[in-house]
Amino acid sequence: MLAAMSQSLALRRPDDWHLHLRDGAMLAAVLPFTARQFARAIIMPNLVPPVTTVAAAAAYRRRILAALPRGAEFTPLMTCYLTDATDPEELARGHREGVFTAAKLYPAHATTNSAHGVTDLARIEPVLERMARIGMPLLVHGEVTEPGVDVFDREAVFIERVLAPLHRRLPELKIVLEHATTEEAVAFVSACGPTVAATITAHHLVINRNAIFAGGLRPHLYCLPIAKRETHRLALRRAAASGDPHFFLGTDSAPHPVTAKESACGCAGIFTAPAALEIYAQVFEEEGALDRLEAFASLNGPRFYGLPPNEARIALRRRSWRVPERVAAGEAWIVPFLAGEEVLWAIA
Ligand code: DOR
Ligand code: ZN
């Protein structure tokens, strides 16, 4: 048990079960922020062009390993970007050969670089059946894309129209509802058995939708799924802090050049890697649940994925510091989440 006002905290090294690393100069700039805190991460495949083959994923993994700072201990876990044309054979081979840890479902046009995503789940039914059979997790961007559905309702509608029927049809298929943002998501996932889980980002634990409009339009708080009203944020905090094994850490850290964010049509994505674990620790402290941070950050994810938890440990201290105003990425700049603001926990 932890004292009421803990000043330090040691846990098994955590993993990030949802991460965008990009490529090239951006990859080189952002990877050290993740590797300093996380032992492993599930790497999103929404590059341009997307990572759809075993060869492309193996090559991307090599580029990530080559970009690691010297001495860093970090394992990228690769994913396959599903399209209407995904070949179940290729997918199963990638899984068998240890290249693909999981596959990512982007409904076509749901978010950044999802144009090649799946237009209708019916088209990949053989893929889904194969994944269920071999125990390969399906990672879901859970939003419908119909323009007629309100952007704040897209996750709840997806759960009702797509996710719940999929789980009823293939109850043995392992599904992660990525970046859950609603109380509907929390209720659905908690009520499922052990084959369904959800990741929760740091930013969705901190901001509600008001923050996006506080005093003006805040492009650096825009992501998809978009932050919802306060009741949803509170439901996410309760779920994360509950210790329930259905919920685990996935930052969805998603860097974009500042010029692409501060634009007439700014793109979705929040770059949390510079302070991710520290922000989660602050949230868990606020929830009086620091003793459950390790379950959320370091144990529930590996258990779901059937991987051992990390043996190495990481220490956090209650010491305030400021998130950098900006981070250089080649010629570009990236503005992190909570740029210039104080965070109360630091990695020791
Ligand atoms: O906000 C987001 N950014 N949501 C996503 O689903 C994709 C991500 C990105 O790649 O930038
Ligand atoms: Zn993402």
Q: What is the pLDDT of residue 110?
A: 82
Q: Which residue, judged by its Cα, is nearest atom 11 of ligand 1?
A: 269
- Asked if the model's pLDDT at residue 113 lies above 90, the reply is no
Evaluate: CB of 117 within 6 angstroms of ligand 1: no
Ligand 2 mean position, distance from CA 234 (Å): 21
Summarised one tens digit per residue, pLDDT across range 202-241 is: 999 999 999 999 999 999 999 999 999 999 999 999 999 9
186-225 burial code (b ≥16 CB/10 A, e <16): bebbeebeebbbbbbbbbbbbbbbeebeeeeeebbbbbbb
Evaluate: CB of 269 within 6 angstroms of ligand 1: yes
Summarised one tens digit per residue, pLDDT across range 139-195 is: 999 999 999 999 999 999 999 999 999 999 999 999 999 999 999 999 999 999 999
Q: What is the pLDDT of residue 1?
A: 46
DSSP 87-118: -HHHHHHHHHTTSEEEEEEPBTTSSTT-TTSB
The residues annotated with a catalytic role in the active site are 252
Residues 6+ apart with CB under 8 A from 189: 177, 180, 196, 197, 198, 239, 246, 247
Q: What is the pLDDT of residue 5?
A: 67
Ligand 2 mean position, distance from CA 19 (Å): 6
Evaluate: CB of 141 within 6 angstroms of ligand 1: yes
Q: Which residue reads 């046009």 in tokens? A: 109
Q: What is the pLDDT of residue 111?
A: 83
Q: What is the pLDDT of residue 114?
A: 87
Residues 6+ apart with CB under 8 A from 217: none
Ligand closest in space to the Cα of 139: 2
- Asked if the model's pLDDT at residue 120 lies above 80, the reply is yes
Q: What is the pLDDT of residue 3?
A: 47
Residues 6+ apart with CB under 8 A from 21: 27, 30, 31, 34, 41, 43, 44, 64, 76
Phi first, then psi: give them for residue 332, nearest 5 degrees.
-95, 165
In which order are the strands placed within the sheet that holds 313-322? 8-12, 313-322, 342-347
Mean pLDDT of the chain, nearest integer: 97
Of 255, 140, 281, 121, which is closest to residue 198 (Cα–Cα)? 140
Ligand 1 mean position, distance from CA 99 (Å): 23
DSSP-derived pairing of the beta strands 8-12 and 313-322: antiparallel
Q: Which of 19, 42, 204, 252 to mutate to test the pocket of ligand 1 (most atoms within 8 A of CB)?
A: 252
Q: What is the pLDDT of residue 300?
A: 98
Residues of the chain above pLDDT 90, percent: 96
Q: What is the pLDDT of residue 112?
A: 79
Atom index in ligand 1 nearest the CA of residue 268 equals 1
Q: What is the pLDDT of residue 13?
A: 98
* CATH for 13-311 (3.50.50.60, 3.40.50.970, 1.20.140.10, 3.20.20.140): 3.20.20.140
Annotated domain spans of the chain: 13-311
Q: Please give the structure tokens belonging to residue 122.
A: 């019916």
